Amino acid sequence: MGYSDFERRLLETYFSVVDGPEHADVYLVRNLPQEVAATLNGVYSRSSKSMRDQFLDRLRQGLAAQGRPLEDLPLGPAGGDVLSAVMADKSGQFLKTYAIDHGHNSLREGSVVHLAVERVSQLVTRFVQRERRCSFEESSTRYISFGAETHWRDPDVQAAGGEIAAAYEWVLATTFALYGEAGERLLAHLQRVRPLQPGEKEAAWLRTLKAEAFDAARYLLTPAIFTKWGMVVDARTLCDVVTELRSHALAEFRLVGERMQREAERALPTLLQHARPNAFLQALQQELPRLATELGVARAPVHHGPASGHTTLLAHDPELDDRLLASLLYEHSQTTFAELLARVRALTAGQRQQLLQQVMAARGPHDGWPPGLEGAQPFEFEVLLDFGAYRDIGRHRKGFQQQQALTTAHGFAVPPLVQEAGLAASYGEVLERAATAQQRVAREFPQAAGYVTPFAFLQRVRIVFDPRQVAYFVELRSGPEGHFAYRQVALDMLAHLRQVTPLFAQFVRAREGAAFLGRLDSEMTADERRQRRMQAAGDG
């Protein structure tokens, strides 16, 4: 049965296609309140009707309950408020019954919100951005100079007063003051030693110098510094994030969780009902530190002064090359994996290399690795690196990552540029004193001490990546435009790959050349791309 003219005009507001083809009828759902959209998605499994027909049915029911016909609904944007009033209660009841009371969590995934979170610390930011089911965009410490002194002061530390509060405040003030001075001096040094060359574009050259300077200066920032980020998240995931935040021991975390929930409930009034402090999570925050203390592993010996990071391979698949080849072929064979693996093992080394070469021959510069290369046991690494660099590595959320509580016990990294510019003495003195102050805070407030642990200090992180993700990480983060510290981690991972899985490692496209010129080339290429886009837009 076809739609009436009114129904058709109504549907055009909320669906990109009204009369679809017999096969592969694909259309965009738009302009609907989030919980209405989630309800329509949810009833798919309970009805043979299309989403368009479900929409009309539920709208008619809502209007009929008010004694009104469908044609009473205003068309176009003016109908949005009426639509919410007519359908929201009915959708909320459906979602409460199935998503809340019956625990059908997949229904929560049909509602997505976009939150802007601003003027929060780097510490709470890193906690939230561990979540692997969200999308985030954050202010960059590489391209933005943090010119304002905007730090979070933990209220429990402030309430304690005395030398603890004074130590906290001293770290924030002193490191930030040197950060501002260092940024200017590092940029001036780079302009002297790397002047603009013939054929180079001044704007790209200056951006490159600033990025180099910020890469080094940001080691003096602390996790208390305010940042901002956007977050796109479904209701199910947001409920989990808010619950974790509201169960946290730190006041800022609880505050951010409450405000995220309050704002998201404007669009999702039903689906965040379970987002509340959780007794089990709160108990874990008490019990696990106590157990670590009992076992004598809660604190590390203190290393004073500069230190170097390193990457250790903890575990890997000893048959990785054979298992990856078998995994690549598995979907295209009709035999068991064990038989396929035996066949691959029987090949000579040359035959295995030729096989993988044939598979990868057509791979372009922007093509990912085949999904079959996830089909082996993962690599497990332990990395000791500065917190500033880990902020970037932490974005690779496809794998499993664990970061230990922030500490100053492992010493601090000294960026080469700081040495070259003659800032090492003042840099080292400030960080040594910051370590003493941070450790004073940590004795009474171990979690809040994270706020005053400058980015330069080394932290221990455990990273578990499947082979495909390792290859992606090495190829992306070894790029010369990247931060020098995480670039070294990528190259260290590659060195481990070459030792334990030489066949697989041959096909990882790492970039091992000089960093500065590569970064400059990248900036100049970006300028050229922007100019081509602007020209194309003008021609159009």
Q: Determine contact, residues 448/387, Cβ cutoff 8 Å.
A: no
pLDDT tens digits, residue range 378-430?
Answer: 999 999 999 988 888 888 888 899 999 999 999 999 999 999 999 999 999 99
Domains of the chain: 5-110 (no CATH), 117-308+406-456 (3.30.1360), 317-374 (no CATH)
Mean pLDDT, residues 75-89:
61
Neighbours of 229 (CB within 10 A): 16
Distances (CA, A) of 308 to 36, 416, 461, 512: 54, 12, 14, 20
Q: Determine contact, residues 267/33, Cβ cutoff 8 Å.
A: yes
pLDDT tens digits, residue range 279-296?
Answer: 999 999 999 999 999 999
Neighbours of 357 (CB within 10 A): 12
Q: Please tell me what DSSP assigns to residue 300.
A: P
Which pair of tokens denotes residue 343?
A: 């066949």
Q: Cα separation of 460 and 306, whole Å? A: 16
User: Tokens 């899985």, residue?
Assistant: 501
Shortest CA distance to 211 belongs to which of 531, 479, 475? 479
| Residue 102: band (very low, low, confident or very high) from pLDDT cuts 50, 70, 90 | very low
Q: Determine contact, residues 157/447, Cβ cutoff 8 Å.
A: no
Q: Cα separation of 131 and 205, whole Å? A: 36
pLDDT above 60: residue 120: yes
Residues in the chain, how many? 540
| Residue 113: band (very low, low, confident or very high) from pLDDT cuts 50, 70, 90 | confident
Average pLDDT, the chain: 86
Which pair of tokens denotes residue 141?
A: 């410490």
Q: Cα separation of 493 and 489, whole Å? A: 6
Mean pLDDT, residues 497-522:
78
Which range among 40-54, 101-115, 403-417, 521-535 has the greatest average pLDDT?
A: 403-417
Asked which of 67-76, 336-345, 363-372, 441-450 is least confident by mean pLDDT, the reply is 67-76
Mean pLDDT, residues 318-335:
94
pLDDT above 50: residue 133: yes
Q: Determine contact, residues 404/461, Cβ cutoff 8 Å.
A: yes
Which pair of tokens denotes residue 315?
A: 């575990």
Q: Cα separation of 283 and 281, whole Å? A: 5
pLDDT tens digits, residue range 342-364?
Answer: 999 999 999 999 999 999 999 99
Asked which of 83-92, 194-203, 425-434, 511-520 is least confident by mean pLDDT, the reply is 83-92
Which pair of tokens denotes residue 412?
A: 């601090």
306 contacts: CB under 8 Å, gap ≥ 6 = 411, 412, 413, 414, 428
Q: Cα separation of 350 and 113, whole Å? A: 52
Identify the pLDDT of residue 99.
Answer: 43
Asked which of 160-174, 215-229, 264-278 is least confident by mean pLDDT, the reply is 264-278
pLDDT above 60: residue 1: no
Which pair of tokens denotes residue 32?
A: 């609907």
Asked which of 57-61, 138-142, 260-264 is least confident by mean pLDDT, the reply is 138-142
Q: Are strands 379-386 and 458-465 parallel, antiparallel or unpaired?
A: antiparallel
Q: Are strands 112-121 and 400-403 parallel, antiparallel or unpaired?
A: unpaired
CA distance from start to end of the chain: 42
In the chain, what percentage of residues exceed pLDDT 90?
A: 57
Q: Which segments of 406-507 does DSSP mark as H helices, in order?
A: 416-420, 424-444, 467-477, 484-500, 502-506
Identify the pLDDT of residue 30.
Answer: 85
What phi and psi values does residue 319 have, to the nearest 5 degrees?
-110, 30
Burial of 279 (0-12, 13-18, 19+ CB in 10 A): exposed
pLDDT above 70: residue 143: no
Mean pLDDT, residues 222-239:
91
